[in-house]
A = this chain, B = another copy of it.
Amino acid sequence: MKAPTDRTRLRRLHEKAAYDRDSIDAILDAMPLAHVGYVMQGAPVVIPTLQWREGDRIYWHGSAASRSLKAGKGVQVCVTVTLTDAMVLARSAFEHSVNSRSVMVFGQAEWVTSAAAKAAHLQTMVETVFPGRWDQLRPMTETEITATAILSLPLTEASAKISAAPPGGTDPDEDKPWPVWAGLLPISLAMGPPIPAPDLPPGTALPAHAAQYRFGQKPQ
């Protein structure tokens, strides 16, 4: 039987790190949910939020946690976005794993300060995370723009990690005759039937943008 270090090498064949922007952008664009790590008084704090990408940067709403950090200065963060694609059921406990795609972005996040820039980014957020909806919404007010904090981070220090074990898994050859079912159990994000607000004006139909909405993309 191979030693685990050899097996770890075997598994690594199906794991790759990617530093090209196409790989990174594809993951960021497929999953709005991000986990943003800050350091507060020396301790890590990880906050879930929605991110959206505009060209070479990602953006998110500043949270109460980030607001308590030095306002106006850069804030050191790590933003991680993860998609789970499948559970990998192997013949041994050791080789069980998850096929996934993730991106980590490191750097100094910056506050968006001008009201005009904030308004433009908020519109892009809605057009990215809630596509097709912007033109139908009650327009934003200046008070709302003022009340919203936005952080942004360049994609200069970003990397992707993609785990994609095949259905045959990463079991060494000597484990393959073991009499247990092995394979992949694909995971995807699904949308349930839309639930309309009880107080919609009469005759308000379900628009295509809501009927066809998807949170996150299907697995590759």
A residues adjacent to B (C-beta < 8 A): 1, 3-5, 8, 33, 35-39, 42-48, 50, 76-80, 82, 84, 86-87, 89, 91-94, 96, 98, 100, 102, 104, 106, 122-123, 125-126, 129-130, 133-134, 136-141, 143-144, 146-148, 167-169, 175-201, 204-207, 210, 213, 215, 219
Contacts and interface: CB of A to CB of B under 8 A. Distances in A.
Contacts of A193: 186
Contacts of A39: 39, 42-44
Nearest to A81: B48
Q: Is the interface of A mostly helix, strand, loop or mixed?
A: mixed
Given A80-B47, A87-B215, A133-B89, A141 B1 contact: yes
Contacts of A100: 48
A143 B190 CA distance: 40
A98 B47 CA distance: 14
Contact of A94 (B93, B140, B199): B140
A120 to B, nearest CB: 12
Given A46-B78, A94-B148, A186-B195, 20 more contacts: A4-B144, A4-B147, A33-B84, A35-B82, A37-B37, A39-B39, A39-B42, A44-B76, A46-B79, A87-B215, A92-B138, A92-B140, A94-B141, A167-B195, A167-B196, A179-B204, A182-B197, A185-B213, A187-B189, A187-B192
